[in-house]
Amino acid sequence: MHFDSLASLWFGLSLPAIVLLYLFKRKYVDTRVSSHLLWNRVLKDMEANRPWQKLRNRLLMIVQLLAAALLVLALMQPWLSSQRTAKAHVVIVLDRSASMTSGIVSPDGTAESRFERAKRMIGDFAENEASDSAITLLGMGEQAEVLLSRETDPAKLRETLARIQPAYGKTAYMEAMSLAAALTRSDPESEIRLFTDGQFTEPVSGLTFAVPVTVERVESAGAAQSGNVSVTQFGVKSAGGAAGSVTAVASLKNWGDTPKQAEVALYAGGKLAEVRTVPVEPGKQASVYFDRLESADWYKLDIGKGDSMMADNVSYAFLEGDRPRNVLLIGKGNLFLEKALQLAGAEVTKLDPDGAAAWLSSQKTGNGPDVVAVDSVTDSVLASAEWSKWLASKPVLYIRSGYAGKETAVPAAPYSIEEHPVTRYLKLMDTHVASVLQPDRIGWGKPIVSAKDVPLLYAGSENGQPRLLIAFSLQQSDLPLRTEFPVLVQNALGWLTAAQGGSLGRAVAGERKEIAVAPAAAAAKWINAEGGQTVSEAEKASGIVSSVQTVPLQPGLYKLEEKDEAGQTVQVRWLGVAADSRESGTGQTELKFAQASPSDGEAGSGEQAGERQGAPLALWRWIVVLVLAVVVWEWGVYRRGTSV
């Protein structure tokens, strides 16, 4: 039993007070008199009354003590944890993450996903335990959504639940629980019910709840789980030359605790190319290689339906293009950079900064390189309006160029590397940088590599064109001598030219992606490439197609089709959309939510609201009814004068 007001225990002092009153109760002695004339003596209290007497067992006193004790107990507001009772207002949080699509086996033997089971559990809860409660329904997806507010009709709740779909992008766990806490902070007659599989990919620590939180694990007791195998990496590469020169490599991971046999099918442009059976040990990764594949616009790897989670069983890859990419390298000359660009498959044209103006005047409309690399060039060289306009239409790699700043020493600290296509496979361990030209302001990007609070690499987009900045001179670092330098240049070149090939690469479902849109494009739309249906229209800003788009919400292969004002197709590019890879793991988090003290509302020594804590069942109303019954009993005892 729990108490919401322990301070009311002070009213328990009324019990010894009642006993004390009985100790001092006036007691008259029966006295025989021969005449009423002697009554005057009997009425003299000082002679007939005994102010102090031995305490005797009296039913009336016991009943009064019982009534007082029950009143004190009611003032302490006791409650019990009950799984069968919901509060007046229930905030239900439904986990829509990709891991909720994993299949489980119901107690009746039928297969269903965790997500469908959670929706059924919510409907049953609303019709039974919360039949008299108002329900607010929150969806925990890419963002927190209020789907229903204080709804009392279970039929409308089930109708809303039927329309909810899983969210395959990055789930906003903290945002959803923060919203639930805010909705119940000033409502003591409320509670929170979280329906989840417990597989949170981000911490939700630091939140304090003013009401109880019950975590409903969506699992089937005793049901065997089939485990999960996911595609963690998939890529293709063309060696050039004759047909059949494409190779592919993929990595699979078994997240379960039993060995699995994955049936791996590889498709080249919709045509089945090869099928393999790959054994994957529990908790381990396995690699599979394919060679002599036909050239295609896109490639698909599918590991079938033999595991619990389907959202991570398919991955797409694209060739980087058949023709070499042309890079204009502006600078005094850097042999390491030039060789690294050539190793990445680029054709390099070197341009001395002194001849930049003459070179630009010789360019014709429509001609030019795919990427411009500006290596340690002063602002005055490229400050003309012609150069600014020309650079604005090209992907640019800046190396200590293109901005104003101050020279800053690089602290000796481990590098902080953000997740980005440019930083793939990079660790930068034992790499030294003497100093950087720290920018005063970079409006188009954000740091992706930093040493403590000193950014070294920036990446972003300006006017729909990608920009990459290396804020230090390569001569002031030993990075060009490291084996990771060609990898960095390869990643940079691939990212800068991603929009120029036939693909937009890969993205997580529902994420915001920067896309270089064709200047002539007046409209664009997303098309499901394997189904042919139009999924959505591309977003617009100020009447034109925006350079930042929200990719489709469902995993799959999509085409972004751009058209001009006449309705003619300008360009078509492929995009592979995948579920958040962090949802593939089968590990579960111990969910504990700190609950504020009910006396002052501050976080501290309050209980931990966590799994299956149960809804509180208030007892004080029933105790008050019992007190009234005891008072009626007391009146009967007093009227009859009965004592023990």
- The CA distance from 2 to 10, in Å, is 17
- The CA distance from 479 to 337, in Å, is 11
Same domain, 359 and 482: yes
- The CA distance from 66 to 50, in Å, is 27
Same domain, 464 and 491: yes
Amino acid at 311: A
**Whole-number pLDDT of residue 25:** 61
Domain boundary among 482, 500, 518: 500
Q: What angle do CA 253, 254, 255 make, to 5 degrees?
A: 110
Query: What average pLDDT does the segment 237-263 reach?
Result: 83
Query: What average pLDDT does the segment 485-496 reach?
Result: 91
Q: How far is CA 485 from the centre of its chain?
A: 34
Tell me which residue of 305, 611, 303, 340 sits closest to 474, measured CA to CA: 340
Say if 223 falls within a structural domain: no
Query: What average pLDDT does the segment 32-59 reach?
Result: 58
Tell me which residue of 507, 512, 504, 514 sits closest to 460, measured CA to CA: 514
**Whole-number pLDDT of residue 150:** 94
Query: What average pLDDT does the segment 215-230 reach?
Result: 70
Say if 112 falls within a structural domain: yes
- Give the pLDDT band of residue 75 (cuts 50, 70, 90): confident
Same domain, 75 and 94: no
Domain count, the chain: 5
Q: Which of 209-223, 398-412, 602-616 has the lowest mean pLDDT?
A: 602-616
How confident is the model over 306-329, as pLDDT tens digits?
788 889 999 999 987 555 678 999
**Whole-number pLDDT of residue 46:** 47
**Whole-number pLDDT of residue 442:** 87
Say if 224 falls within a structural domain: no
Buried b (16+ CB within 10 A) or exposed e, 477-507: bebbebeebbbbbbbbbbbbbbbbbebbbbb
Say if 115 falls within a structural domain: yes
- Give the pLDDT band of residue 256 (cuts 50, 70, 90): confident
**Whole-number pLDDT of residue 455:** 94
Amino acid at 620: W
For the cut 70, the answer to whether the pLDDT of residue 600 exceeds it is no
- Give the pLDDT band of residue 40 (cuts 50, 70, 90): low
Say if 296 falls within a structural domain: yes
Same domain, 122 and 73: no
Sign of CA dihedral 165, 196, 190, 142: negative
For the cut 50, the answer to whether the pLDDT of residue 612 exceeds it is no
**Whole-number pLDDT of residue 601:** 44
Q: What angle do CA 278, 282, 284 make, to 5 degrees?
A: 70
**Whole-number pLDDT of residue 226:** 61
Q: Which of 414-428, 438-452, 505-519, 585-599 has the lowest mean pLDDT?
A: 585-599
Sign of CA dihedral 118, 122, 123, 127: positive
Say if 148 falls within a structural domain: yes
Same domain, 335 and 472: yes
Q: How many CB atoms lie within 10 A of CB 529?
A: 20
How confident is the model over 543-572, as pLDDT tens digits?
899 989 999 999 999 999 988 887 877 778
Percent of the chain with pLDDT over 70: 82
Amino acid at 350: K
Say if 495 falls within a structural domain: yes
Same domain, 456 and 437: yes
Same domain, 346 and 484: yes
- The CA distance from 62 to 64, in Å, is 5
**Whole-number pLDDT of residue 173:** 93
- Give the pLDDT band of residue 67 (cuts 50, 70, 90): confident
Most confidently modeled range among 383-392, 580-589, 633-642: 383-392
Same domain, 453 and 536: no
Sign of CA dihedral 55, 61, 62, 66: negative
Helix (H, G, I), strand (E, B) or coil at 584: helix
Same domain, 538 and 628: no
Domain range spanning residue 52? 2-80+621-640
Q: Write the CATH number for 361.
A: 3.40.50.880
- The CA distance from 197 to 216, in Å, is 8
Q: Write the CATH number for 138.
A: 3.40.50.410
Same domain, 112 and 207: yes
410: β partners: none
